[in-house]
Amino acid sequence: MSRTPITWFEIGSDRPDEAQRFYAEMFGWSFEQGGPGGSYRQTTAGGEQGIGGAIRGTDTGNYATFYAQVADVAETCGRAEKAGGAVLTAPVTTPAGLVRAMLRDPSGNLFGVFSPPAEG
């Protein structure tokens, strides 16, 4: 059994209003503005049974990706490279203390890893 849960998703869209409307109509998701400059539209998606996520407005291309929660982002990046993947964005710590990195698997798929802020 895996100890690395998928706990977040992100949908990048050059038409975030349209994407938000689509997912609200499709699945009944509700959204709240958040993130830097209000650029993130967060949702709890499936409630207690699903994972949280967000729509991010972007002009660099549309995408959908998942984020795995890990204990050590830097160590996970090293393991990804040894397994044939690539680190696209080295570990970065946000002002809130969350550490994240973006990776690509050997077949070209993009995914992210993160560690939540330390409690305290």
pLDDT for 36 = 65
Q: How far apart are CA 70 and CA 52, in angstroms?
A: 16
Query: For residue 89, how far is the Cα from the chain centroid?
Result: 13
Report pLDDT for 76.
Answer: 94
Supply the range of the domain harboring residue 10: 6-115
Question: Which residue(s) pair with 9 in the sheet?
Answer: 53, 66
Could you tell me the two tokens for 97?
């203390």
Domain count, the chain: 1
Q: Model's pTM, two decimal places? A: 0.73
Alpha-carbon distances, residue 43 vs 32, 50, 86, 104 (angstroms): 7, 10, 29, 25
Q: Is residue 26 part of a domain?
A: yes
CATH number of the CATH domain containing 110: 3.10.180.10
Tell me if 95 is assigned to some domain: yes
User: Is 15 part of a structural domain of the chain?
Assistant: yes
DSSP secondary-structure letter at 119? P
DSSP state at residue 109? -
CB atoms within 10 A of CB 118: 8
pLDDT truncated to tens, each residue of the chain (120 aa)?
Answer: 567 888 889 898 988 888 988 888 877 888 988 766 667 888 887 667 678 889 988 888 888 899 999 999 999 999 999 999 999 999 999 999 999 999 999 888 889 999 999 886
